[in-house]
Amino acid sequence: MDQLTTRFSLFIFLVLPFVLSAQDRQIQGQLTDEDGLPLIAANILVVETGNGAVTDFNGKYSIMASEGQTLRFSYVGYQSKDVEIKGQTEINVVLSEGNQLDEIVVTALGRSKRNRGLGYAIDEIKSKDLELAVDDNLLNSLQGKATGVMISGSGGGPGESARIIIRGINSLDPNADNQPLFVVDGVPIDNSTYTVGGGSSRTMSNRVGDLNPDDIESMSILKGGAATALYGVRAANGAVIISTKKGVGGGLKVDLTSSFGFENINKYPETQDKFTQGYNGVYDPNSFWPSWGSTVEEARAQDPSHPEEIYNNYKNGYQQGHKWRHTLAMSGGDDKSTFRLSLSNLDHVGVVPFSNYGNLSARFNGTMQATEKIKLTAGINYVNSGGDRVNADRYNESLTYWAPRRDVLDFEFPDGTMKGYRNDGKRGNNPTYGAKTNKFTDDVDRYIGNFTIQYDVTDWFNIRYQAGLDQYSDFRFLRAPAPTGIEGENVHEDNGLGFVTETRIRNRDINSNLILNFNRQFSEKFNSNFLIGHDLLDQSYNRVTTGGSELAVWDWFSLNNVNPKTLSSSSNLTNKRIVGAFGELLLEYENTYFLTVTGRNDWSSTLPVSNRSFFYPSASLSYVFTEQFEPFNGFLDYGKLRLSYATIGKDTDPYRLSTVYATDDIGAFTRGNTKGAPDLSPEKTTTFEAGFNLEALGGKAGLEFTFYNHLSEDQIVPVPTSLATGFSTFILNAGSIRNRGVEIGLDLNPIITEKALWNIRLNFTSNNNEVIEIIEGVDEIFLGSSYGYSGATASLKLIPGQAYGNLYGTSYARYNAKEGQTPDYSQPILIGDDGFPVRNREQLILGNSQPKWFGSVSTRFAYANFEISALFDTRQGVQKYNQQSNFMAAFGISPFTEDRNETVVFEGVTADGSVNTQSVFKGQGVGPDGESYGAGFYRNVYRGITENFIEDADWVRLRNLTLSYRLPQSVLANIPVSNVRISGVGHNLWLSTPFTGFDPEGNRGNGNADDGFGGFTYPAVRSFTFSINVTF
């Protein structure tokens, strides 16, 4: 009784002053979405006073306000709504989704703003778009959901990395990341993909893949310079702002989500099924050559043990993969504090034998209103991730060499030694055995933490300080056994005499920022906001690698077991610091005109003292013209014009100012191959953006259009130089590149009723880039290459005046061809005196790895408790070098090699211009005409011409198809469960592409030099996932 009296007295004491001064009264109610589901942690603001409240986990709220005042209801990703108080004590509000101008979005520094005030484009992805994510990597869940954003993976391996590029490549440096900054709850985090320690071609993870999609509340993609200016040099490539789920008051809430999925490869290369093992058309079960032998019928006549049909190794060499993910989340709180705790576990077994990945995650978020003016927020995320990473490149290459008359999955003898494909299994490498024994395992322990304190000095001035830590250790263990010593053992050549390599990586980022925020409304028409701030990044990376070979005990994987003479070590230690100061002024007039001006100065430790300080401004303007007039007789509900301009600075990697020395094997020092540049200047990118947002027909149609132009100058690039200088490359400010393009987003809502909703979203992006200049004296910058037999290697090079991503290689010689950068396809192919096409060894442009345009179409239909959604996306006008096809042609595996025994006349002209009439044999050995044709057309000619393997890699796919059902509340009324949802998701269900290899979306890696090279990557997969979510 005394406790109740005390609480009542305290309540009277707190409320009475407000009642006496403003005659406030309590307003309560509930916020829901269009499906009737509660909106948790939504904001309610008294516009006139700035006082606010948030909804609990039932969407309910309570706030004090006076008659005639206005309540503003808002939620990230939804259209805000203003309601004037006219005698009500209960106000229930339904908020609508969409890209309306009054939608609340999360912008730079984690601040929520109304879309109408932004002078730049922004894309917001909500939690419901991520809840049914079926991919290990959070980035892949963004596929097709935003304009200007291209996600590329290196395949479908468990835990495999993904790469995000916003508005094109903007760096000429082959080693530049080009990916945006990632910020989680206000703290920048690392997104590196390290392949050191044997991780190359091992499907390594990028670090954003550590995050659990079930923990994400929303993701904002900031694309232009004006949008990211406050983040400084780290956001020169854009920024992805991630907000995680928080707890709310109102009691304890428990969420349990479990999902199970299985997967198979979605596209295989086709193989010929007519010819078997041997060479020169002769069957030989002991031959190295897998498919240049006789026909299967002829082989069976000689060898009854030969199977009736040969295998397609690329189909047979893979298994069905599967994965489990479980997430348990608990949240709650009261009017003073909230919390959310989540635990998640992922277990994924891949389609390549012996590949797997696991992710164990725990996250805690908490808030506390310590006093009336002080609010504390803290969060910590622990992740343990890693697994067995198969060398997919080597596995697929080895499948090419494997004779298809044998089952590649039959890889071991009873004694555990390797079973090969020739000499009764005693010779030949087995890819499956290699995957089992040549092991690479990574084990990552990561901690991401943040702490924020905000002091509200007045109702118009607050101070916020935030500190963050992102730290992880990554232990990598590469090993292979030595020979067992069993007589006649077939030893895998990649394993040799056995080896062990250990790599230990430690990465640490410390972030600190202080922000002073002023918000003043000078009149009913004029409002302003001003902030100034300071931030600090302190970054450290430390790696140590030690390895040795020749194991004494064949299966003891320890550095103590290697031959001491083979031991070697290497290490790398880098430190970097960036200090920044920034400010922003926002002016708003009549809720119609919005002007935002920013300025930032950075000091970077990676630049020389004279150039390490650099300043860059930005300005953006938003004009909501429908506030002043109604064009088209009220057809438009909303209309906004926007314009922005910004300059962005960019520093470089540590230790590029000096020429460094490295230790060699005998303890001496060796000068490096790269000459440092003590007078480097920061890079500068100038961005211009213009566009509009329209909404019409009562919210049933919306259109977004953006044009952008980005010019990146003073690029810091390693440029080649004469070896006579003693170096192979110099680090210089050496060039510039431009990206310009358009982005179009169309939203349609044909049906909006109480029970039904149908939404259609179309995204379109076209980006054109050009290498503007490279420093005088340098003709080109080499990015990378992909090997092809007999001179068919394809290369990526940067040449002034040409587009980024051009693929260079050899081609067919053309008769009387015009000089130029590309083959003269208008002219006939030149035929040599031997009757075969002639190869042009000059390196010409054969294609481009960057799509001319890409886009998506998504649709969502909801009726009562059912919902179905689908996402189609496409890339068009893109080419890829198919290295796998080059190898398949060289080894007689490609379907087109089935014509190997034909006599043909190649279409073309001879050197004198006359039509070719000479007949030649395409096969090996002696032809029907008695002439010797050696290794045959496909090995002598075809495999050595790059042009044959540059393929159109356009594609259209059904990315996702989702069906979900939510149990009615009437069913749950008498049990302690508030929500049950059952879902099924199909991923990569359909693909249409002319590319002949695996799914062309996969690259051989995630670097700039990997675009355009399919390689022998880990194949993409088609998956089916079933999940259930229960809320208590």
pLDDT tens, 379-407? 999 999 999 999 999 999 999 999 999 99
Same domain, 209 and 78: no
Q: Considering only CA atoms, which of 232, 208, 211, 228 is closest in space to residue 220?
A: 228
Give the CA-trace dihedral at 346, 347, 351, 352, to 10 degrees: 110
Of 485 and 777, more confident: 485
| 107 found inside a domain | no
Same domain, 458 and 572: yes
| 121 found inside a domain | no
On the question of pLDDT at 902 being above 60, the answer is yes
Domain boundary residue, one of 952, 975, 1009: 952
* pLDDT tens digits for range 272-303: 999 999 999 999 999 999 999 999 999 999 99
Burial class (CB in 10 A: 0-12, 13-18, 19+), 610: exposed
Same domain, 235 and 334: yes
pLDDT band at 55 (very low <50, low <70, confident <90, very high): confident
Domain boundary residue, one of 952, 983, 1000: 952
| 811 found inside a domain | yes
pLDDT band at 76 (very low <50, low <70, confident <90, very high): low
| 481 found inside a domain | yes
Same domain, 332 and 250: yes
| 413 found inside a domain | no
Q: How far apart are CA 480 and CA 348, in angstroms?
A: 23
Task: Indicate whether this model's pTM tops 0.75.
Answer: yes
Which residues are bridge partners to 188 per DSSP? 183
Range of the domain at 292: 278-316
- Angle at the Cα of 168 from the Cα atoms of 885 and 1003, rounded to 5 degrees: 25
On the question of pLDDT at 1015 being above 80, the answer is no
pLDDT band at 5 (very low <50, low <70, confident <90, very high): very low
pLDDT band at 904 (very low <50, low <70, confident <90, very high): very high
On the question of pLDDT at 664 being above 70, the answer is no
pLDDT band at 198 (very low <50, low <70, confident <90, very high): low
pLDDT attached to residue 13: 39
| Percentage above 90 pLDDT, the chain | 70
Same domain, 743 and 837: no
pLDDT attached to residue 942: 97
201 close to 389: Cβ distance less than 8 angstroms: no
Domain boundary residue, one of 69, 96, 123: 96
At 883, phi and psi to the nearest 5? -60, -35
| Percentage above 70 pLDDT, the chain | 95
pLDDT attached to residue 969: 84
On the question of pLDDT at 671 being above 90, the answer is no
Q: How far apart are CA 193 and CA 716, in angstroms?
A: 21
CATH number of the structural domain spanning residue 336: 2.40.170.20
Q: How far apart are CA 724 and CA 368, in angstroms?
A: 66
| 3 found inside a domain | no
Same domain, 196 and 311: no
Highest mean pLDDT among 52-61, 114-123, 840-849: 840-849
Q: How far is CA 1030 from CA 217, 247, 255, 977, in A?
A: 18, 17, 6, 7
Same domain, 240 and 180: yes
How large is the average pLDDT for residues 745-758?
90
Burial class (CB in 10 A: 0-12, 13-18, 19+), 581: middle
Overall domain count for the chain: 4
Helix-helix angle 883-890:392-401, to 10 degrees: 20
Same domain, 939 and 959: no
- The beta strand positions in 792-948, using DSSP E, are 794-798, 806-812, 839-848, 853-863, 866-876, 879-881, 903-904, 920-921
Tokens of 391: 């060398």
Q: How far apart are CA 856 and CA 764, in angstroms?
A: 7
On the question of pLDDT at 970 being above 50, the answer is yes
pLDDT band at 56 (very low <50, low <70, confident <90, very high): confident
Q: How far is CA 767 from the centre of its chain?
A: 18
* pLDDT tens digits for range 514-529: 999 999 888 888 999 9
Of 53 and 909, more confident: 909
Q: Considering only CA atoms, which of 232, 234, 172, 233 is closest in space to residue 732?
A: 172
Same domain, 1015 and 869: yes
Average per-residue pLDDT in the chain? 90
One-letter amino acid of 387: G
How large is the average pLDDT for residues 1013-1028?
91
According to DSSP, the β-strands at 25-32 and 93-94 are parallel
Same domain, 77 and 192: no
Q: How far apart are CA 541 and CA 471, in angstroms?
A: 10
According to DSSP, the β-strands at 60-65 and 93-94 are unpaired
pLDDT band at 101 (very low <50, low <70, confident <90, very high): low
Same domain, 335 and 379: yes
Same domain, 583 and 552: yes
Q: Considering only CA atoms, which of 910, 903, 920 is closest in space to residue 831?
A: 910
| 151 found inside a domain | yes
| 800 found inside a domain | no
How large is the average pLDDT for residues 17-25?
48
On the question of pLDDT at 15 being above 60, the answer is no
pLDDT attached to residue 11: 37
φ/ψ region of 50 (left if φ > 0, alpha if ψ in -120 to 50, else beta) reads left
In the structure, how many helices (H) and strands (E) does the chain have?
A: 9, 53
| DSSP conformation letters of 780-817 | -EEEEEE--GGGT-EEEEE-TTS-TTEEEEEEE-BTTP
pLDDT band at 329 (very low <50, low <70, confident <90, very high): very high
- Over its C-alpha atoms, the chain yields an Rg (Å, rounded) of 32
- Residue environment code for 49-86, b if the CB has 16+ CB neighbours within 10 A, otherwise e: eebebbbbbbbbbebbbbeebebbbbbbbbbbbebebe
